[in-house]
Structure 1
Amino acid sequence: MFRSGKGRKITIFITVVSALVIFIGMGVQRRCAAQGGNDYESIELFTDVLSIVKKSYVEEVDTKKLIYGAINGMLSSLDPHSSFMPPETYKEMKIDTKGSFGGLGIEITIKDGILTVISPIEDTPAFKAGIKAGDQILKIDDKFTKDLTITDAVKRMRGPKGSKVTISIFREGLDKPKEYTLERDIIQVKSVKFKTLDDGYGYVRIAQFQEKTDDDLDKALKTLRDENGGNLRGLVLDLRNDPGGLLDQAVRVTEHFIDEGKLIVYTEGREKDSKMKFTSRKGGKEQHYPMVVLINSGSASASEIVAGALQDHKRAVVMGTQSFGKGSVQTIIPLSDNSGLRLTTARYFTPSGRSIQAKGITPDIVAERVELAATEKKEGMHIREKDLENHFEVEGKEKVDEKKPVKTPAYKADEQVKADSQLLRALDLLKGWEILKTIDKPAA
């Protein structure tokens, strides 16, 4: 039955694979022997199973597919952030850091065995549809996510612009899962957004830490200074729903506000290369104006590094809600077939020695976001002294000229800002800070 040319090829192929498995086993034998017999026995078990599957499985299987599956299983048993990236996924990952890819715009993780949203990315299909941090993704199209790795889940949610995908979401407060049918788009993540809130008070929003985040922040701060007479009186740094990104960019962003030589973050791991310290270098530093950093449960990884460093050095007041708590460092290791390995190699610590892993950053001021109406009552709804009959006027220079136009602060005219209770509290805090400095202290 196996005398045909095809049969001989199958037989030869199985023999070659078996020989390869034996060769691999012999290659690791010496290394494992020094570490104890258990390691070698485990490797031998793996090679035995691989050989049996290749020889006896009901259908012919691809060796590379088996190896990839075995690696995926091995890494998924470690932690939610270690993963294997086949060549196509590895290529997409490198594109991600440049801020452009096709998909829905959701940063995800595995939490308690469930695929969970860390945060939606601003101005993306997921964000516009109302997907929130903490949402549990139960299904992607007709596929349950219970046994999916993060890599597989990302692959299923990505696709060409205009194509659609349905995800089933469960969140606290829902009686049953809710389905969202989203149309994929090219996700152009604009890392830094900024605006002037009021005279002297700036606002900078970092959506994700990418290759050019530090450069974009530098330009944003320069523009804000120019708009406000060369100096700022205060700054709100918004890191809410920022899922993180590149560690070096988090360090460089922090350097703008931390004096030279001060520690920003340090990492600790098993290997020598994973034990690093990052301190603030020379370069352009911002003036020591008051700062408020906004965080929430969608603030993770690199954004927690920035918030933690500014908090530890008393450089900013951190306001909002507890952050996500991703205090581990993943190293991207390229492999020989253009695939990649994302491996957790260290934990990071804030300057004071705090580990954020599974804890997060605790705000100095806890402020839940409250939905506000973006419109205000008209002035005509209120009665003032001047509206009362027979009121008297004040004579002299202090008389108010009602015909003179009054400049409206930028935040008063910004519908998005007016509906953001946390941002308004942050601005009030900065203004109060400025006012308190002018109050005379009682004589000793």
Structure 2
Amino acid sequence: MFKKMKGKKIALLVASLLVVVAVSGIVVQKRCAAEGGNDYESIELFTDVLAIVKKSYVEEVDTKKLIYGAINGMLASLDPHSSFMPPDTYKEMKIDTKGSFGGLGIEITIKDGILTVISPIEDTPAFRAGIKSGDQILKIEDRFTKDMSIMDAVKRMRGPKGTKVTLTVMREGFDKPKDYTLVRDVIQVKSVRFKTLDNGYGYVRIAQFQEKTDDDLAKALSALKGENGGQLKGLVLDLRNDPGGLLDQAVRVADHFIEDGLIVYTEGREKDSKMKFSAKKAGTEPNYPMVVLINGGSASASEIVAGALQDHKRAVVMGTQSFGKGSVQTIIPLSDESGLRLTTARYYTPSGRSIQAKGITPDITVERAEIQSTEKKEGHIREKDLENHFESGEKGAPDEKKLEKEKQPAYKSDDQLKGDYQVLRALDLLKGWEILKKMGKSE
């Protein structure tokens, strides 16, 4: 979810919790001397400790390993999304926005020092094995994940297609942790899926914002129109469990439905972190009714789209409270081919809302219907639950009312989609919209 910029502008990225990046040609400003004596004293303290460890530790240690560990600790103390990527990890991360990699298909984060699942990616080994939102991954093979970095966890879960990996999972309702042995596969994350729900009413699901999401969306809308006599009466845009992705793709997706005006803007300490993205009239879709579906797994770029459409009153937002990740990450390549992922700004919806640690509140709250009312519901992890998260920067505390819990819904097959309560409610709303419009014309 980065955007390439020229000159002194650096790649901005609204990170998904999968941590996907693709970076090239970034110009990094060199920092001048430390701002004050305290900085020099702190650096001296660090070098003193480094020298003592090098000289007196019981075994000989690798200096680079110590430096990498120190950088990891420094960034981990800032917020959940800033991190350091060693060369091998940084190289591996660059391929993710292509939508294809070898692994299990799990969106993860760190909560209270424990590796926690945000959501499984649809139609992947993790999804098929029954891994759920909110699951705590206590072990990967024989390695405990307590205080393990996300980068390390991702590296351990990835691997060649056909190889096995065992995850030890604790879930609400489990008496004890359960082992899941998954077979790695090539994860092909299909960004956009679509189908006709009823005559004239289309459905588009965006699973993740990748390099070709904008193009794939244009093809999907064209195909839906072709299936429905050349035009749509209404559209359901499903962003549930979409962890985000590329910022420029989020802007372009929103631009399909907004004729003009602001889509999103960012604010940070540096000049390069203050940016505005506006809609262009060319290529805008007709003003047919829209419903956007969100839930606790909708984060980052998907919240940009939902927030923009909501602020412009272009769509009704339906579902449950979104994740609440309103921060921007900058990816900076370092001299040894490692990478720095640093939170540099907050993003704001057109009306000036920061959803950081709060999320997008739907216009109409619709819970996912359960097959059995006695079954316990799983809660989504949200930005405000993460250790060291920062606040929105707005005056006044966010609404602290307890958010409704829900089980994670994901993209379904055609038959399953017919039984998706939230999609059916969205379709009913669109049809009602059409009926009311006709009634208004007849009066």
Contact 1:84 1:342 in 2 (8 A): yes
Determine the structure 1 residue equivalent to 2:94.
94
Contact 1:257/1:315 (8 A) holds in 2: yes
Q: Map Cα deviations across residues 188-247 of structure 1 (whole Å, 9 max, x no partner).
A: 111111111111111101010011110111111111111111110000101111110111
- The more displaced of 433-442 and 56-65 is 433-442
- After superposition, the C-alpha distances for 1:381-413 in whole angstroms (9 at most, x for unaligned) are xxxxxxxxxxxxxxxxxxxxxxxxxxxxxxxx9
How far has the Cα of 1:30 moved from its partner? 8.5
Q: 1:30 to 1:211 in 2, by over 3 A?
A: closer
Matched pairs, number: 374
Provide structure 2 residue ranges, at least 5 long, that are not aligned to the other structure.
1-29, 373-412
Tell me if 1:129 matches 2:129. Answer: yes
Conservation of the 8 A alpha-carbon contact between 1:371 and 1:419:
no
Q: Which amino acid aligns with 2:298?
A: S
Show the counterpart of 1:243.
243
- Asked if 1:117 corresponds to 2:117, the answer is yes
Q: Distance in 1 between matches of 2:75 and 2:194?
A: 39
Distance 1:64 1:123 in 2: 39
Distance 1:199 1:273, change over 3 A: same
Partner of 2:262: 263
Equivalent residues of 1:250, 1:302 under 8 A apart: yes
Counterpart in the other structure of 2:26:
none
Write the distance in 2 (CA, Å) between the matches of 1:112 and 1:366: 29
| 1:323 and 2:322 are equivalent in the alignment | yes
- Kept in 2, the 8 Å contact 1:191–1:213? The answer is yes
Cα distance between partner residues in 2 of 1:70 and 1:145: 19
State the one-letter code of the partner of 1:236. Answer: V
Structure 1: runs of 5 or more not aligned: 1-27, 374-412
Tell me the distance in 2 between the aligned counterparts of 1:233 and 1:214: 22
Q: How has the CA–CA distance of structure 1 residues 359 and 171 changed in structure 2, closer, same or farther, with 3 Å as cutoff?
A: farther
Q: Deviations over 1:119-171 (max 9, x none)?
A: 21111111111222222222222222121111111111111111111222233
Residue 336 in structure 1 maps to residue 335 in structure 2: yes
Change in CA separation of 1:134 and 1:56 when aligned onto 2, cut-off 3 Å = same
Q: Percent identity?
A: 83
Any conservation in 2 of the 1:371–1:421 contact (CA below 8 Å)?
A: no
Counterpart residue type for residue 343 of structure 1: L
Task: Indicate the residue corresponding to 1:207 in structure 2.
Answer: 207
Match of 1:36 in 2: 36
Q: 1: distance between equivalents of 2:31 and 2:58?
A: 31
Q: In the alignment, residue 70 of structure 2 is paired with which amino acid? A: A
Letter in 2 for 1:424: L
The change in CA–CA distance for 1:130 and 1:193 in structure 2 (over 3 A counts) is: same
What are the equivalent positions in structure 2 for 1:269-288 lying under 5 Å apart?
A: 269-288=268-287
**Kept after mapping to 1: 8 A contact 2:113/2:148:** no
Aligned to 1:293: 292
Structure 1 residues 30 and 184: alpha-carbon distance in aligned structure 2, compared to 1, 3 A threshold: closer
RMSD: 1.9
Which residue does the alignment assign to 2:423?
423
Question: What is the identity, as a one-letter code, of the residue corresponding to 1:46?
Answer: F
TM-score by structure 2 length? 0.81
The aligned counterpart of 1:21 is none
> CA offsets, 1:73-109, max 9 Å, x none?
1111111111111111111111001111111111111
Contact 2:85/2:151 (CA < 8 Å) preserved in 1? yes
Determine if the alignment matches structure 1 residue 356 to structure 2 residue 322. Answer: no
How many angstroms apart in 1 are the aligned matches of 2:195 and 2:243? 22
Q: Is the 8 A contact 1:117 1:134 kept in 2?
A: yes
Match of 2:148 in 1: 148
Q: Which has the higher helix share?
A: 1
Aligned to 1:436: 436
CA contact (8 A) 1:372 1:419 kept: no
Residues 29/43 of structure 1: CA separation in 2 closer, same or farther (3 Å cut): farther
TM-superposed CA distance for 1:49, in Å, is 1.2
How far has the Cα of 1:55 moved from its partner? 2.0
Cα distance in 2 between the residues matched to 1:147 and 1:222: 47
Query: Relative to structure 1, is the Cα distance of residues 55 and 286 closer, same or farther in structure 2, using a 3 angstrom cutoff?
Result: same
Whether 2:212 is the aligned partner of 1:221: answer no
Q: CA-to-partner distance for each residue in 1:252-275, whole Å, 9 max, x for gaps?
A: 100000112x11111111111111
TM-score, normalised relative to structure 1: 0.81
The 3-state SS of whatever aligns with 2:282 is coil
Rounded Cα–Cα distance in structure 2 between residues aligned with 1:130 and 1:439: 47
- Which is bigger in relative contact order (C-alpha 8 A, separation at least 6)? 2
Does the Cα contact within 8 Å between 1:372 and 1:418 map onto a contact in 2?
no
| Aligned partner letter, 2:351 | S
Change (3 A) 1:170 1:338: same
1:5-25 C-alpha deviation (Å, 9 max, x unpaired): xxxxxxxxxxxxxxxxxxxxx
Is the CA contact 2:114–2:147 (under 8 Å) kept in the aligned structure 1?
no
| Structure 2 Cα separation of the partners of residues 157 and 30 of structure 1 | 39
Give the C-alpha shift of residue 441 in structure 1.
7.9
Match of 1:160 in 2: 160
Matched with 1:107 is: 107
> Which residue type is aligned with residue 31 of structure 1?
A
Instruction: Report the CA distance shift for 1:144/1:226 in structure 2 as closer, same or farther (over 3 A).
Output: same
4+ residue segments displaced more than 6 Å? none
Alpha-carbon separation, structure 2, partners of 1:269 and 1:281: 25
CA gap of 1:362–1:101, structure 2 versus 1, over 3 A, is same
Correspondence for 1:60 = 60
